[in-house]
């Protein structure tokens, strides 16, 4: 597996741990619908958090969250609509980004709540 795939997988594992420590129940990881993949679907109280995880080995090329493009957001919205309908959920939906980047020998994690709005 390529190094960037390993890094992305590690970032997602760190994000899951971070969410669990902060009171979220993890409902799904890597949930797919058509061409869309949702990294993490988590729930805290009556809010469904749709979490896109972006992991970078450094910030040299920009912040991890800068790499979530409008096309990706459209795919996420479509997938979330399907998830909510197929699971018959009546819940508030929020889109978050967890940005993970390497800092020395460890990783910094930033949780951006309500990171973007669907359109």
The half-sphere exposure of 62 on its side-chain side, counting CA atoms within 13 A, is 6
pTM: 0.89
- Note the pLDDT tens digit of each residue in 45-95: 999 999 999 888 777 777 767 778 888 888 999 999 999 999 999 999 999
Radius of gyration of the chain (CA): 14
φ and ψ at residue 53, rounded to 5 degrees: -100, 130
Burial of 111 (0-12, 13-18, 19+ CB in 10 A): middle
According to DSSP, the β-strands at 92-103 and 47-56 are parallel
- Note the pLDDT tens digit of each residue in 4-50: 678 889 999 999 999 999 999 999 999 999 999 999 999 999 999 99
Residues 112 and 74: their CA atoms lie apart, in Å, by: 18
């Amino acid at each position: 597996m390529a190094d960037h795939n390993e890094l992305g997988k590690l970032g997602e594992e760190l994000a899951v741990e971070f969410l669990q420590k902060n009171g979220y129940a993890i409902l799904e990881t890597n949930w797919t619908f058509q061409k869309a993949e949702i990294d993490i679907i988590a729930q805290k109280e009556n809010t469904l958090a749709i979490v896109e995880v972006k992991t970078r080995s450094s910030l040299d090329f920009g912040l991890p969250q800068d790499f979530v493009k409008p096309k990706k957001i459209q795919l996420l919205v479509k997938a979330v609509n399907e998830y909510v309908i197929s699971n018959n959920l009546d819940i508030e939906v929020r889109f978050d980004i967890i940005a993970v980047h390497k800092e020395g020998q460890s990783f910094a994690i930033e949780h951006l709540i309500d990171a973007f709005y669907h359109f």
